[in-house]
Amino acid sequence: MTETQILRIVEAALLCADQALSITELRKLFASEGVSGDDLRRHLATLQINYAEKGVQLVNVASGWRFQSRPIGALVRRPYRLLPHLVHPANVALQVGQLRLWHLGFVTTPCRE
């Protein structure tokens, strides 16, 4: 199995998991391949670098590794400056969700009043 394949499998497993995955759990994905814990840590570090400038980040929490969204302030600060009509207090909760989707590319235009 190539390094790229291992990286893709680890990434997919973490993105699809409903909870954080430990190194032990990740190693089970490669039981027949002989991938070590150190190899997985190296791949996790590579994924952290790959996601450094994106809306989600790979973090190591007490129960293992998981993807999570970056703090919302970093995502919406710039769009709010560009689109000041979005800041109306009655619409902020709805629009924060829409801006997340817009930022991730699921919506092609920003939300409007």
Using a cut of 0.75, tell me whether the model's pTM lies above it: no
- pLDDT, tens digit, for every residue of 25-80? 999 988 888 899 999 999 999 999 999 888 888 999 999 999 988 776 555 555 44
Answer whether residue 107 shows pLDDT above 50. no
The reported pLDDT for the residue numbered 26 is 93
| Matching residue, tokens 């703090």 | 71
Walk me through the domains of the chain, giving residue ranges and CATH numbers.
Answer: 3-69 (1.10.10.10), 72-104 (no CATH)
